[in-house]
Amino acid sequence: MTTAIFDPRDSQYKTPYGAVPCGAKITVTLRPDRSEKFSACSLVLFEEFADAYWEQPLTLAGEETGRTLFTGSYDAPDQPELIWYGFHLRRENGEDAWLGKNGFCQEKEIAFWQQTVYDGTLSTPDWFGRGVTYQIFPDRFRRTAVPDPAGMLGNRVVHQNWDEGMEYLPNAEGEIQNRDFFGGNLAGVEEKLEYLKYLGVNTLYFCPIFEADSNHRYNTGDYETIDPMLGTEEDFRRLCEKAHALGIRVMLDGVFNHTGSNSRYFNINGEYPGQGAFQSQKSPYYPWYAFLFWPHRYDAWWGIKTLPAVNETCPSYMDYIIRGKDSIIRRWLRSGADAWRLDVADELPDDFIAQIRTAMMEEKPDSFLLGEVWEDGSNKIAYDQRRQYLLGRETHGLMNYPFRVAALAYLLGGPAEDFTEAMETIRENYPRPAFYSAMNLLGTHDTPRVLTLLGTGPSEPPMDRTARAEYRMTAEERERGLQLLRAAAVLLFAFPGSPMVYYGDEAGMEGFEDPFNRGTFPWGHEDQALQKHFALLGKLRNVRVSMQSGDLRWLWARGHVLAFAREEEAEITVAILNVGSETEELSFPWPKHLAADALSGQQFVAVQDRMTIRVPGMDCMLLI
């Protein structure tokens, strides 16, 4: 087996584990079977950003239990880098062999291992990864009154009844305009701060709150103005002050890859005073956009004409968003925000992101920068460029969609071994500060509701949009979904990184894809048992340091059963999940005499420093 020859996750073969800071010494040891008769070995290294390729001979260090040992060290470069490495061996008869993740192979077929090298001189605020995040879609969380849309940007329609369905069908031109509003506002969030504190929330992540003519507000109209349906800048400042008093920080959504066509910058409808780029080539905003033929043909995000793309490297745009004394990044931090989440970070230049981080460090040193990336962010290629989000100079952390993909696959019947392998890959590739600062999630405004996914399982959703809008799970589907969601929440809250709850998931909200996942919060109709489960997990996350920053150790990963420990000094928390239908038994080391399940209160006794647990089907535990 390849793992008996080299395993980068085992200290017998490689130290230190995983990503390393610039300049660190990395030691590798290869252990091929003696029968292979290898007489020489070199470490093959390729530094991607430096475009440097070389071989470094390893020392023949003797034999051990029938294996030949080759060992050596090299120094990581003094600049952030992605290193790809494998091994070149030579047998006593002069024959060459190559070893990579795919085993012994021909040179051209080798699959290299990844070594992440990051700038470790810049610190990462630890408050985000320790705490619980709650995502709010502002129009749908809570309103204090039915708003009057008169005089507001765009042709808005307001639902009088908070509980009615949203519009979801395209208009005569085939467009879904998202112009129907329910009127959720900042005052409504302020009104529910105590509820959020009850859930254990430490960070409020808001979908865009700046003026825009859609209910999602990802088509920014004015970065300097809170959408009047949400409130005013004074309302935002007051909300931040009251949240801070409760130990809750505020994260804003920064949509900087594109603006709305109906904005003060583009102004396609002429609703703003002054001239936008659509109206005049002399507009100060004209250089921000890429016109193929002015004014009607222009670059737009994914070709959506209401979302004209901006040129982020335009000096005046960078000054406005980042560099200026009163830039958008800076002014909203001064107004009370503590963090920014970068929408579509894949489509923002590396230097643009790095300058945002620099501005944030200057304005509020303890502020946090999160990026929206859906894959492994350590090696992501976007627009033919290898990205550097996590190499220490750009984002502090990323949205952990790989966690969601692996967790849902396991919860819906996949083997626990696949989940651990997926997460070990992320842990190995990410710098430790980034791994512990990931935003772990089960659902967002861009995905179907997790309860619906878990309850309906592998069955295909209805093809017709009206059928999907009206679909409600059967009692059997909902019960299955709730059982699995309880287990999913344990996994979410116990895993390294900030557990993020999409508003209403804790209340039992259902729904397929956008916009059906963006219903109004069901105040007065919540699933109270589920709420209590999330609140208990939030409380445990806030009081148990092992759940906040403890080391991760896998205890069991077989079939439907997953167990892992979080350890910080003498404190241990163990999450156990059984998502199969049958009772399963597992055994693992336990250094104390007793353990208690924090969810049920049940106690267990260890025998000779081992704990044996029988876990019923579709159940979960959190041992402390």
Show which residues are catalytic. 343, 372
CA distance 159 to 135: 22
CA distance 391 to 370: 13
> Given the DSSP bridges, would you call strands 291-293 and 498-502 parallel, antiparallel or unpaired?
unpaired
Name the DSSP class of 322: I
How is residue 391 written in tokens? 């190499």
> Given the DSSP bridges, would you call strands 561-568 and 291-293 parallel, antiparallel or unpaired?
unpaired
Name the DSSP class of 35: G
Please give the full DSSP string across 350-399, using - where no structure is assigned. Answer: HHHHHHHHHHHHHH-TT-EEEE--SS-TTS-EETTEE--TTTTTS-SEEE
Please give the full DSSP string across 282-321, using - where no structure is assigned. Answer: TSTTGGGB-EEETTTEE-BGGG-TTSBBB-TT-HHHHIII
Query: What residues form DSSP beta bridges with 157?
Result: 180
> Given the DSSP bridges, would you call strands 81-91 and 52-57 parallel, antiparallel or unpaired?
unpaired
Bond before 77 cis per omega within 30 degrees: no
Q: Is 484:454 a contact under the CB 8 Å cutoff? A: yes
Exposed, middle or buried, 412 (CB in 10 Å: 0-12/13-18/19+)? middle
CA distance 523 to 545: 32
Exposed, middle or buried, 315 (CB in 10 Å: 0-12/13-18/19+)? exposed
Burial 353-383 (b: 16+ CB within 10 A, else e): bbbbbbbbeebbeebbbbbbbbebbbebebe
Exposed, middle or buried, 65 (CB in 10 Å: 0-12/13-18/19+)? exposed
How is residue 561 written in tokens? 């059963």
How is residue 507 written in tokens? 């209340």
CA distance 174 to 210: 26
Q: Which residue type occupies 127?
A: W
Q: Is 435:400 a contact under the CB 8 Å cutoff? A: no
Three-state SS annotation for 206-248: ECCCEECCCCCCCCCCEEEEECCCCCCHHHHHHHHHHHHHCCC
Q: Is 274:280 a contact under the CB 8 Å cutoff? A: no
At 486, phi and psi to the nearest 5? -60, -45
